Amino acid sequence: MILYHFFLGLYPILAYLISPFNEKARQWVNGQAKVWEEITILKQNIKQPLIWVHCASYGEYEQGLPIIEKIKASYPSHQIWLTFFSPSGYLHRKNDGVADFVTYLPFDNEKNATLFLDTLQPSLIIFIKYEFWHYYLATAQQRNIPTILASALFRPGQIFFRFYGGFYKKILNLFTSILVQDSISHDLIKPLLTSAKVYITGDTRFDRVLSTAASVAKFEWIQKLSSNKIIIAGSTWESDHVILAKAVSEIKKVNWIIVPHHVDVNSITQCKNHFPNAITLTELLASKQHFTSPTVIIIDQIGILRNLYQYAFITYVGGGFGNDGVHNVLEPSAFGKPVIWGKNDLKYREAIGLRNVGGGFSIDSADALIKTIQYLMVSEKQYAEICKKSGQYIIDNAGATQKTIDFIKEQQLLG
C-alpha cells in the first residue's frame, strides 16, 4: 500500500511540473482541474439505472466499445457513464455519442471515490483490461455494487506476482468478477483470488475489428495513385521510419502509404526527412494529379488508418522497434492482409498468435523486412494462403463481447 500511496502522491506533482513542457501532461492537469465542474453539469441528466465503464486510454476504449454497444442494445433503458484516465482517450471520445456521459476519472482517493459513486449510483461498474483503482473498487465493494474487470490480460512480470505485490493482490480481490482473455491469464491469477471469480471470455478487440471491417469507409483519393500494389505502414514511429526508408529505397514498384502514430507538424516533418520524395495526404488532396508511377504518401490526418488497411497488399504495423511495443495488428488482419511488425512483440499475444497461425511476420531488421515483402510478392498461391490465415485468425477468436454480455445476464448483475 505504501507504493500505491507513493504513486498517488507523486503522479499529480510530476504531471504539474512537466505540464509546461509536455502537452499530454498539461491536458491531464487541466482535465483534473475541471473534472468535478463537468460532472456537476452532466449529473443533472442522469436517469437511473446507470452503468459506469472506465477505460485508461484510447486503446482500452477500443476494447470496451463493443461491450458498451452490446449493453446499449441489450439494456436500452440503462445509461452509460464512460470515464478515461488519459487525455488520449477523453479528448478523442468526449463527443463520441456512444456513451451518455464522458468525463475524466477524478484521481483515486477516498473522497473522490465516495463523491463520484454518490453522484452516479451505478448499478454495475466495468473496468477495461488494466485499470486497478483501490479506493473506487473498495468503495464499490462496501456498497455491494458489482464490479467487473473485462478483457483482462496478465503476464508473469506484473506487480501482482512479485513478492512486494501483496497490496495489489488485494485490489484484484475487490472485483466481483474478472473476465480474462485467455487460459494463461486465468491460471496466473486464479491462485491469487480469495473472493473475486475469474472466467475466460476472450479479447473484445477481435469483435471490434470485425465490426470495423464490415462497415468500412471508402477513400476516393486512392484512385489518384498508380495501379501498382500498395504497402501500408500504420502507427509508425521514428525507429520504424529508419527501417521503412531502406525498404522504400529497395522496393520501388509499389505505392507506399506511411501513417505515423503522431501527425503533428513536427512529427510529419521528421517523417518526411526519411522519405524526401513523399507527399502528404493534404498535398495529394489539394492536387489534381493522378500518378502513373509508384509514390510514397504520408498520412497527416487522424482517424483513417483502420479503414485504410482495406487497400493494402501488404501491411506493416509500427511500434515493434521501440519501447511502445507493437500497435494493433488486428486491424489489418481483419481485412485478411499479411501483417509485418518489429521484434519487440513478447508482450503482445495477439501478434504472437497471428504469427503462430501463419498470418503475420515479426522482423528484426530492414533486410528482414525487404526479404519478407519480396517473399509475399513472389508467389500468388502462397500469398493467398497467408491472407486466408490472417483473416481466419480474427474469426476464430471473435465472440468475447457476447460472452461478456451472457455473463452479465447469467449472473443477473443488471437485474
β-partners of residue 257 are: 232, 297
**Looking at residue 95, what is its pLDDT?**
84
Q: What is the pTM of this model?
A: 0.90
Mean pLDDT of 209-238: 94
Residue 172 lies inside a defined structural domain of this protein: yes
Asked whether the predicted pLDDT for residue 415 surpasses 80, the reply is no
* Domain presence at residue 415: no
**Which of 144, 109, 122 is closest to 49 using CA atoms?**
122
Query: Is a pLDDT exceeding 90 seen at residue 339?
Result: yes
273 plus 140 within the same structural domain: no
- Label each residue of 44-112 as H, E or C: HHCCCCEEEEEECCHHHHHHHHHHHHHHHHHCCCCEEEEEECCHHHHHHHCCCCCCCEEEECCCCCHHH
Same domain, 193 and 234: no
pLDDT score of 324 more than 80: no
Does 2 have pLDDT greater than 80?
Answer: no
Supply the pLDDT for residue 130: 85
Residues 403, 388 share a domain:
no
State whether 29 and 135 are in the same domain.
yes
Arithmetic mean of pLDDT, 39-54: 96
Residues 372 and 331 in one domain: yes
Average pLDDT for 146-175: 93
pLDDT of residue 379: 87
Mean pLDDT of the chain: 94
User: How many structural domains compose the chain?
Assistant: 2
Burial class (CB in 10 A: 0-12, 13-18, 19+), 167: middle
Mean pLDDT of 51-58: 95
Residue 224's domain comprises: 217-397
Indicate whether 79 pLDDT > 90: yes
Residue 129: C-alpha distances to residues 54, 62, 160 (Å): 10, 11, 14
Residue 212 in any domain: the answer is no
pLDDT at 303: 86
Q: What is the pLDDT of residue 23?
A: 87
Q: Residue 228: give its domain's CATH number.
A: 3.40.50.2000
How large is the average pLDDT for residues 37-64? 94
C-beta separation of 143 from 122 below 8 A: no
331 and 252 belong to one structural domain: yes
11 and 155 belong to one structural domain: yes
Confidence band of 119 (pLDDT split at 50, 70, 90): very high
List of long-range contacts for 373-378, beta carbons under 8 Å, 24+ apart: 373/231, 373/247, 373/251, 373/314, 373/340, 374/251, 376/313, 376/314, 376/338, 377/229, 377/313, 377/314
State whether 119 and 182 are in the same domain. yes
Asked if the structure places residue 54 within a domain, the reply is yes
The pLDDT, as a whole number, for residue 6 is 83
**CATH number (domain holding residue 119):** 3.40.50.11720
SS3 28: helix
pLDDT, one tens digit per residue, over 237-278 is: 999 999 999 999 999 899 999 999 989 899 999 999 999 999
| Amino acid 373: pLDDT | 97
Check whether 230 has a pLDDT greater than 80.
yes
